[in-house]
Structure 1
C-alpha cells in the first residue's frame, strides 16, 4: 500500500519532533561532558565528532520542521520533484530525491 505525503505528514512531524528532542538532549549532555576534566570518558576528538553530529542532527531536523511549516516539505531542493514518501519515512529530514542526492 502506497501512502501519500498528506497521509504521512503527522507521523513524520512526530518523528522529526522526537528526533529534534533527542539530538538536543544529546547535545546538552555532550556539552556538559566537554566541560568536565575527564570529558565524560570521551577522548577530545571523539567528543568533538559527537558534538558535531548532534549539532548536524539538530540543524537537519529543525530545517525539515521549518519546511513542513512553510509547505515545501517533501519537495526536492535540487529538481523540484516530490521526494518519495518511502524515502522520507527512512530519512524524514531529506532535502533531495535520490538522483539529486547522488549527484551531490
Structure 2
C-alpha cells in the first residue's frame, strides 16, 4: 500500500478562483446591461425611461465595470485582497460581500465618501 502526498494548495487559491469567477460574471452582466442601456438611449421612446435616468444608470454601470476590471487587474498582478491604504489582507468575508473592495473595513471607515450622488459610486 502506498500513500501519495499532495502538495498543499495555497491557502486562498480556491476562494480566489471563486472570487475571480464572481468578478468575471459581474463584468459580463454589467457590460451586457450597459450595452442594452446604450441601445435603449438611442431609441426614440427609451422604453419608459427618461434620458436623465438613463444617464445616471449608465454612469453607475460604467463605474461598476471599471471597479470590477480594476479588481481583475489586481488579481493578475498579485495585489488583490490587500488594502491599498495599510497593505493588510482584506478579510475573505469582505471580499465575498464586495469582491471589488480595495480597502479593509477599518481603512474604509476612515475614508469618507464625500458628496455622494446617484450618478457616482463611492470609492471602496
TM-score range, shorter chain: over 0.9
Question: How much is the aligned-residue C-alpha RMSD, in angstroms?
Answer: 1.0
2:35 corresponds to which residue? 28
Shift of 1:43: 1.2
SS of the counterpart of 2:70? helix
1:76 aligns with 2:83: yes
Aligned residues: 101
Q: Please list every run of 5 or more consecutive structure 1 residues that lacks an aligned counterpart in the other structure.
A: none
Shift of 1:6: 2.8
Q: 2 CA distance for matches of 1:36 and 1:99?
A: 45
1:103 corresponds to which residue? 110
Counterpart of 2:101 (choices 94, 98, 101) is 94
Larger Rg: 2
The normalised TM-score by structure 2 is: 0.78
Q: 2 CA distance for matches of 1:5 and 1:29?
A: 36
Higher relative contact order (CA 8 A, sep 6+): 1
1:54 corresponds to which residue? 61
The normalised TM-score by structure 1 is: 0.92
Q: Please list every run of 5 or more consecutive structure 2 residues that lacks an aligned counterpart in the other structure.
A: 1-10, 112-124
